[in-house]
Amino acid sequence: MRRAFEFVAGCARLVTRGNRAYFAWLAVLGVAIAIGALGYAHQFRTGLIATNMRDQVSWAFYVGNFTFLVGVAAAAVLLVIPAYVYEWGPIKEVVILGELLAISAITMCLLFILVDMGRPDRFLHVIPLLGTPNWPRSLLTWDALVLNGYLALNLAVVLHILWKAYHGEHYSKRVVVPLVLLSIPAAVSIHTVTAFLYNGMASRPFWNASILAPRFLASAFCSGPAVMLVLFQVLRRYAGFPIKDEAIFKVAELMAYAMFVNLFLLGAELFKEYYSATEHLRYTQYLWSGLGEHRALVKYAWTSLACSVVAFVLFLVPRTRRSFVTLNLGCVLIWVGVYIEKGIGLIIPGMTPDTLGEIYEYTPTFTEWSIAAGIFGVGFLVFTLLVKIAVPILQGSFRARGAPAPDADPRAPLAASAH
């Protein structure tokens, strides 16, 4: 008990100390969370009519953000594959950071689902034994299962590694490696299941395409790690966390291949729609060229494409990939590109025109923006706090009392188990 209290106290010390940039960052997140909380209080009181969702477009901003963030969560696996499957040392030490990102992303996913529900007080109805989940027919129950399973998996790996490191011990390969390898199909499954959620609806021809699941995976892998790349540079600079340039450039290279696949699959989808030119083309047209005077999404669609293409070129060409200015620019661009593509570029055109041919142009309300900002605030806060605690543990500066002193090499607890 005492040791747990010491640990908690230690964590509290870690997160309440930092430089000005750190506190400024926390302040920004705090403001975002406060705005989100106020927004949600308003929405909870008045109902989802506080959003611009209506019967015609009944899923929109929240579900779009959820979809994007599931991709981010799945992208952590892009670090895992080279680290453990290909035994590439420079990446192994940063796998845990990817898992922390996955945990934060899943947290945000679950929050977006919660704020989108008409009756969040009834969430127990979807839990086995306490409720009546429509498993296996309902994809949403599968999503709940795999998302929570993936969260648990990542938490297990992270807690094990950190717990061992906190006590100055090496983590047990027999525990970690199988779990980490399991996280590869798990990561693929969370995004595949999410894709199937949309894919399985015959009522929505824009989604009812087999290509949706591969597109989801490609866009996840090409965008999710972008956060990691930025984070690695921040940690190197401010926390002295040693991450080789090789690791960063390798991840960027893998992302470039994923970007290519993403663009190729988009091209394949566009060919099918425009060449066959059935009535189903209308959804694609609404997104890329508008229908009549309904053109709300067109600028976002082309912005997204431009960002994705430029990011692809920046990541593909070794010179721009290896220059941190262009690399970071590429990271921002791909995040913007995929955020639009998976968010409003997927959900809204799926529902516009609606099933009876009606066009209702949806744009988010201030309430939706504030709640989304709040949830992103929570997610980034979770990530920040986890990293603030994990890095000192991994570096050896945050240890349990009586634990062996840290070795000269700050990467000791991890390096010993690698290679």
Partner 1 sequence: MTRLMSPRVLAALLVAIPGVARAATGAPPPAAPGARDELVEAEPPPFSPGIFPCSQCHEGTPNTERRELAFHDEIQARFRHDSEHRWCLDCHDAQNRDQLHLANGSPVKFTESYRLCGQCHGDKYRDWRVGVHGKRIGHWDGKKTYFLCVNCHDPHAPRFAALKPEPRPLRPEEMRR
Partner 2 sequence: MTERRSLPVLQDGDPGREPDCEAAATPPPGMSRRTFLRTAAAGAGLAALTACNVEEMLRKHLHQLSPEELQALLRRVERKNSERFGRAVTVSAEGPRPGVEFGYGLDLSRCVGCRRCVYACVKENNQSRRNPQIHWIKVLEMDKAHGVDLVHADAYYEAETVPRPGHFYMPVQCQQCRNPPCVKVCPTKATWKEEDGIVVIDSDWCIGCRCCMSACPYGARHFNWAEPQLPASELNPQTHLLGNRPRPKGVVEKCTFCIQRTRRGLYPACVEACPVGARKFGNLLDPESEIRKVMETKRVFVFKEELATQPHFYYFYAT
Binding site for partner 1 (CB under 8 A): 46-47, 49-50, 54-57, 360
Do residues 393 and 414 make contact, with C-beta atoms less than 8 angstroms apart? no
The entry of partner 1, partner 2, none that residue 407 binds, CB within 5 to 8 Å by partner kind: none
For residue 284, give the nearest of 296, 269, 294, 299 by alpha carbon. 269
The CB-of-357 to partner 1 minimum distance in angstroms stands at: 14
Q: Looking at beta carbons only, is 144 or 213 nearer to partner 2?
A: 144
Q: Which two tokens stand for residue 50?
A: 């506080």
Q: Looking at beta carbons only, is 134 or 363 nearer to partner 2?
A: 134
The entry of partner 2, partner 1, none that residue 360 binds, CB within 5 to 8 Å by partner kind: partner 1
The CB-of-40 to partner 1 minimum distance in angstroms stands at: 15
Q: Return residues touching partner 2 (CB under 8 A).
A: 44, 46-49, 53-56, 58-59, 113-114, 116-126, 130-134, 137-141, 144, 197-198, 200-204, 279, 282, 350-351, 353-358
294: β partners: 291
Instruction: Residue 336: count other Cβ atoms within 10 Å of its Cβ.
Output: 19
The entry of partner 2, partner 1, none that residue 249 binds, CB within 5 to 8 Å by partner kind: none
Q: Looking at beta carbons only, is 42 or 236 nearer to partner 1?
A: 42
The CB-of-204 to partner 2 minimum distance in angstroms stands at: 6
The CB-of-50 to partner 2 minimum distance in angstroms stands at: 8
The entry of partner 2, partner 1, none that residue 1 binds, CB within 5 to 8 Å by partner kind: none
Q: Looking at beta carbons only, is 7 or 198 nearer to partner 2?
A: 198
d(CA 116, CA 110): 10
d(CA 78, CA 222): 9
The entry of partner 1, partner 2, none that residue 172 binds, CB within 5 to 8 Å by partner kind: none
Q: Looking at beta carbons only, is 50 or 338 nearer to partner 2?
A: 50
291: β partners: 294
Q: How far apart are the first and last CA of the chain?
A: 36
The CB-of-198 to partner 1 minimum distance in angstroms stands at: 21
Q: Looking at beta carbons only, is 136 or 292 nearer to partner 1?
A: 292
Q: Tell me which amino acid residue 321 is.
A: R
The entry of partner 2, partner 1, none that residue 402 binds, CB within 5 to 8 Å by partner kind: none
Q: Looking at beta carbons only, is 212 or 344 nearer to partner 1?
A: 344
The CB-of-46 to partner 2 minimum distance in angstroms stands at: 6
Tell me 82's DSSP state: I
Supply angle C-alpha 15, 17, 20, rounded to 5.
Answer: 115
Q: Looking at beta carbons only, is 202 or 325 nearer to partner 2?
A: 202
Residue identified by tokens 């986890």 is: 386
The CB-of-290 to partner 2 minimum distance in angstroms stands at: 15
Helix (H, G, I), strand (E, B) or coil at 18: coil
d(CA 225, CA 94): 12
The entry of partner 2, partner 1, none that residue 138 binds, CB within 5 to 8 Å by partner kind: partner 2
The entry of partner 2, partner 1, none that residue 298 binds, CB within 5 to 8 Å by partner kind: none
Total residue count of the chain as it appears in this document: 419
For residue 377, give the nearest of 389, 365, 369 by alpha carbon. 369
Instruction: Cis check for the bond before 225: say yes or no (omega within 30 of 0).
Output: no
The CB-of-370 to partner 2 minimum distance in angstroms stands at: 18
Q: Which two tokens stand for residue 88?
A: 């590439």
Sign of CA dihedral 48, 73, 241, 173: positive
Q: Which two tokens stand for residue 358?
A: 């009606």
